[in-house]
């Protein structure tokens, strides 16, 4: 087989798909009954997508933490739950977090509405150049990945964007969501910091809420969900991720050698955090959508705002018994590497790990 011709044909197919600006939704709207070959994942990736009908892992779930009374005498118990959940799972869901169900529902609704606009209304936002403001694309790692995933994504750089750059259809809801996420992020980071034994306000000193990126994923019906995924296995680049799923779910996290469904819970927000491997950076993925109803989720990644300062494990969290596991790096360096590699490549964390 001529691999050169095969690679050239694949690249041409990727370019044609990308230049259409229609995304995966465009393929579905065109009546596609089988997925293009560049969406087909390897047998290794697909081997554990099918789960047995009866398996002990089906009863597992990530912890759910009730934040009501976080500023009362319940605080120490909540801090203990947060710390234990972050150490054991790297993920947990929070309820009674202060964001109303109306705002949660509206946020999901506008992400869906943006993606379901006619192509002529959204194609001007299509692009993978990064930068600032608002954009829409299919697969951030389209040209780097071994296989594409069945989803489209809108992205908002919340720290850099002005509302003028956000489409009218979701402008107001995005602004409200950002305000609510900042307030909730402050609370969660305080609880996380206390769980690590840090001084109050330590994460605030590091401007950890200063840079925020929102993504709104749209997973349309996939005619062959057993051949692809909605989002490949990966670990998030931010210090903290706050994720809102719709009622359909699809998210899975890896615990040991098994994948656990993160079942949607009405009003809940999923939290993902990491710190020097004390709190785990957990691989997670999203299954392709086998239902006719499209699936939607939105996540906000929180980073420090000072991109050229050096970051690494906090001195308070390292000792002779718990040495620093990762070298220092700038946020610019970290994000550049994250966005110029395959999303599900496992080398990112290892790239910054200190070898002995």
pLDDT at 55: 42
Q: Which H or E run contains 329?
A: strand 329-330
Alpha helices in the chain (DSSP H): 3-20, 23-29, 43-46, 75-88, 101-115, 119-122, 171-195, 202-205, 331-338, 347-352
Q: Which two tokens stand for residue 56?
A: 């002990």
User: Cβ atoms within 10 A of the Cβ of 343, count?
Assistant: 19
CB 267 within 8 Å of CB 101: yes
240-245 and 251-255 as β-strands: parallel, antiparallel, unpaired? unpaired
pLDDT at 139: 95
pLDDT at 44: 86
The pLDDT tens digits for 256-298 are 888 999 999 999 999 987 654 445 567 889 999 999 999 999 9
82: Cβ–Cβ under 8 A, 6 or more apart, which residues? 65, 92, 188, 191, 192, 195
Q: Which two tokens stand for residue 75?
A: 């605080």
pLDDT at 250: 94
pLDDT at 337: 64
d(CA 248, CA 108): 12
pLDDT at 236: 75
Q: Which CATH number fits domain 13-40+58-352: 2.130.10.10, 1.10.3720.10, 2.60.120.330, 2.20.140.10?
A: 2.60.120.330
d(CA 237, CA 112): 24
The Cα-based distances of 122 to 19, 113, 171, 215, 271 in angstroms read: 13, 11, 14, 15, 30
Q: Which H or E run contains 275?
A: none
Residues in the chain with pLDDT < 50?
52-57, 276-278, 345
129: Cβ–Cβ under 8 A, 6 or more apart, which residues? 135
CB 25 within 8 Å of CB 153: no
d(CA 60, CA 70): 26
* DSSP calls for 208-257: TTSEEEEEEEEE---S-TTS-EEEEEE--SSSEEEEEE-TT--EEEEETT
């Amino acid at each position: 087989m001529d691999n050169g011709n095969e690679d050239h044909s694949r690249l041409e197919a990727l370019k044609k798909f990308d230049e259409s600006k229609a995304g995966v939704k465009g393929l579905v709207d065109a009546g596609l009954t089988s997925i293009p070959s560049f969406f087909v994942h390897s047998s290794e990736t697909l081997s554990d997508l099918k789960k047995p009908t009866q398996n002990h892992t089906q009863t597992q779930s990530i912890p759910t933490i009730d934040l009501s009374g976080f500023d009362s005498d319940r605080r120490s118990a909540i801090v203990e739950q947060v710390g234990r959940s972050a150490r054991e799972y790297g993920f947990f869901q929070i309820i009674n977090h202060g964001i109303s169900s109306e705002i949660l529902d509206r946020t999901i609704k506008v992400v869906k509405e943006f993606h379901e606009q006619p192509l002529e209304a959204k194609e001007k936002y299509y692009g993978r150049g990064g930068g600032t403001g608002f954009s829409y694309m299919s697969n951030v790692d389209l040209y780097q990945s071994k296989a594409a995933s069945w989803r489209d994504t809108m992205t908002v750089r919340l720290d850099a964007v002005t509302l003028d750059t956000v489409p009218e259809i979701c402008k107001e809801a995005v602004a409200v969501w950002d305000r609510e996420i900042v307030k909730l992020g402050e609370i969660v980071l305080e609880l996380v910091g206390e769980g690590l034994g840090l001084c109050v306000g330590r994460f605030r000193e590091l401007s950890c809420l200063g840079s925020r990126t929102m993504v709104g994923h749209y997973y349309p019906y996939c005619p062959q969900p057993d051949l692809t995924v909605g989002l490949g296995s990966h670990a998030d680049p931010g210090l903290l991720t706050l994720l809102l799923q719709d009622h359909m779910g699809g998210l899975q996290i890896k615990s040991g050698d098994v994948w656990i469904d993160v079942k949607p819970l009405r009003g809940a927000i999923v939290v993902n955090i990491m710190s020097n491997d004390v709190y785990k950076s957990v691989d997670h993925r999203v299954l392709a959508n086998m239902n006719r109803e499209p699936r939607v989720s939105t996540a906000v990644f929180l980073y420090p705002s000072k991109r050229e300062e050096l970051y690494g494990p906090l001195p308070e969290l390292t000792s002779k018994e718990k040495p620093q596991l990762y070298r220092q790096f700038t946020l610019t360096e970290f994000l550049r590497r994250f966005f110029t590699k395959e999303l599900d490549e496992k080398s990112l964390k290892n790239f910054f790990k200190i070898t002995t």
